[in-house]
Amino acid sequence: MGSGKQRWRISFHKSPIKVKHPPKEFICPISGSLMADPIIVSSGHTFERHSVLACKSLSFTPILPDNSIPNFSTIIPNLALKSTILNWCSSSHIHPPIPLDFISTENLVRTLMATQNTNNSKNCDVMNRFIESVSAQLNRQISTTSEESVTPTSPLTRPCCYSSASSSEMDPTNPNSCGEDELIVKLKSSQVFEQEEAVISLRKLTRTREETRFQLCTPRLLSALRSLISSRYASVQVNSIAALVNLSLENGNKVKIVRSGIVPPLIDVLKGGFPESQEHAAGALFSLALDDQNKTAIGVLGALPPLLHSLRSESERMRHDSALALYHLSLVQSNRAKLVKLGAVQSLLGMVRTGHMTGRILSILCNMAASLEGRGSMLDGGAVECFVGMLRKGEFDAESIRESCVTALYGLSHGGLRFKGLAKEAAAEDLLITLEEIMESEKAKDKVRKILEALREKHEEEEEIDWEELLNSHGDTNSA
């Protein structure tokens, strides 16, 4: 027919399965995509949030298909429409919509600006061409079955503490690069879209460039970044912490970051931030804990309880990084004492018994067995029986698990008669004799020999020992 509405109609390709087309009020007039975060502006129009933020960022006011001009002075979340869209997706058996990233939306708006400024009559044609590409993406999303996920995931080949691409990240090919001064101005801006643009740029700049990580890790930038870690906007919070992870990868930055006061807000995010932010927070604490100068400070600031809690997280990445953070933090005696008071030993032994991250948890318990408090708590918690039982079953995916059990028992063997009685009850000696023959590592074999020596060592007081009473006795190591 040639009308404006006709030119703006979105054409969906036929998918392999029969699906419903989204009602037109679910589609953002600017991006042409199904809205994931709809907002109402002052003029009463509804758009995707990133579309409005991109227009405001570029000081651009589009002319809509009905020739109306929106007013972006005020934006209000359209929660009712968002709920309706989600319900429609659920009833149509498709995945909820995923918003276009900010830079892609901004690039679209730049195209509209250029076209509208030169020839308004061609504006809709340009939009139609963009919408065709978005529609294809949307159709793929609609035709995706419930068993498939359209959410991008981090490559498993990269270390979990490394900031990989996410749904909230800008296109890494964007040539814009900000200097420190410009970044700081935007980080401190009262405009959310400028904050978001700055943290995403910082995340990109620090992903692969080691010299950039070192140059940008200044007190001024860290101070500006610190306030955004607790942002109530998911994209700002996620990307600010991801950028911090990147900065922390440079060894020379780790101490500077901790001294900047960033650890407390990181801990707050770990306790109750957005899910992806929590993953990055665990990775940041792991990375920072690699420096010996930071270990005590991180423990004193209160990171141990939320890290312990994170070991039960549904996120594999978060569990992994939390375990690694606890391993490095437990290399320090003061943190081992804190973990004992928190009741961590019982919790960690429970995870080992159920096969929950066995290798990672065993490494933490090996550190705990090296301290007097940790050793006492482990002996009281049935660690000897647990480790001997694991060695007897021999059901290991790797030799490293067997070696970790031996290392833990070696640490416990310094527990004197208490250990000797528990090992005797578990019939550990015959098992250890066998292990000495089959262990592959000479270091592990040497530990087995030393454990056997401890078991065979005669003590004058043994003749008067009531072994049953000794085995049933418990110290006060578990008290808080």
434-464 confidence digits (pLDDT tens)? 888 888 888 889 999 999 998 888 754 555 5
What pLDDT is recorded for position 1? 44
According to DSSP, the β-strands at 46-48 and 75-77 are unpaired
CA nearest 55: which of 70, 68, 36? Answer: 70
CATH code assigned to 189-342: 1.25.10.10
Neighbour count for residue 331 (Cβ, 10 Å): 14
SS3 303: coil
Residue with the bigger pLDDT between 121 and 231: it is 231
What pLDDT is recorded for position 184? 92
Split at pLDDT 50, 70, 90, the class of 66 is confident
**pLDDT-wise least confident of 103-112, 147-156, 238-247:** 147-156
- Residue found by looking up tokens 């009712």 in the block: 80
Q: Do domains 189-342 and 343-458 have the same CATH topology?
A: yes
Asked if 61 and 38 count as a contact pair (C-beta separation under 8 A), the reply is: no
Q: Which of 32-41, 137-146, 296-305 has the highest mean pLDDT?
A: 296-305
CA nearest 400: which of 455, 360, 351? Answer: 360
Q: Give the span between the Cα atoms of 480 and 407, in whole angstroms.
A: 27
Q: Give the span between the Cα atoms of 328 and 364, in whole angstroms.
A: 8
Residue-range domain boundaries for the chain:
24-115, 189-342, 343-458
Which pLDDT tens digit goes with each residue over 393-413? Answer: 876 667 888 899 999 999 999
Split at pLDDT 50, 70, 90, the class of 472 is low
Q: What is the pTM of this model?
A: 0.62
Q: Specify the CATH class of 343-458 in words.
A: mainly alpha
Sheet of strand 75-77: strand arrangement: 46-48, 38-41, 75-77
Residue with the bigger pLDDT between 409 and 167: it is 409
DSSP per-residue letters across 12-33: PPPPSS--PPPPGGGB-TTT-S
Mean pLDDT of the chain: 80
Report whether pLDDT(320) > 60. yes
Residue 155, beta-bridge partner list: none
Q: Which of 48-62, 297-311, 393-407 has the highest mean pLDDT?
A: 297-311
Asked if 40 and 76 count as a contact pair (C-beta separation under 8 A), the reply is: yes
Average pLDDT over residues 236-241: 95
Fold of 24-115: Herpes Virus-1 (3.30.40)
- Residue found by looking up tokens 């651009």 in the block: 60
> For the purposes of burial, counting CB atoms within 10 Å of the CB of 464, is it exposed (0-12), middle (13-18) or buried (19 or more)?
exposed
Tokens linked to 111 = 């195209």
Report whether pLDDT(202) > 60. yes
